[in-house]
Structure 1
């Protein structure tokens, strides 16, 4: 599941590790909890390399894509965007170039 999310969201090993700590929905999808140890970037990298070494990644995604298609779901790569709302002064300036 982690490898799939890493591929779908185009995340590096380090970014995937960070996402598991920061994004609850990713932990939920991966069936992980902050109550137990999360895989670090090295573990994520080693698993990815293991899949690549044995040419299993392509087969894995082919199977997953078939399951998703049968369920009427299409998965494409996405982008994660931090949409944190912060307070900031208005950027509109008056004639004196003051806020």
Structure 2
């Protein structure tokens, strides 16, 4: 999945992903998906261009982060990131759905 990044989106999202990982450190589910969580965090942490690419498996986890208000530094940061990333995420998730 590829995401075009607005100003400050990548570091804000990386911070929230890190906080989500820390807050769920004792979760077996998080450990089962540890490689994808690491990929998500590192990709956004190290973003140095206007876009990033993550695997579909890592991308599918993104909604867990913006759905957990406790991992964001403030509500404004959450709104900035979700306004930037969520529409792109939805389009890519829906675009890959297999019709019944």
Flag the structure with more relative contact order, 1 or 2, with Cα contacts below 8 A and sequence separation at least 6: 2
Higher strand share: 2
Bigger radius of gyration among the two: 1
Compute the TM-score of the two structures, normalised by the length of structure 1.
0.28
Structure with the bigger percentage of helix = 2
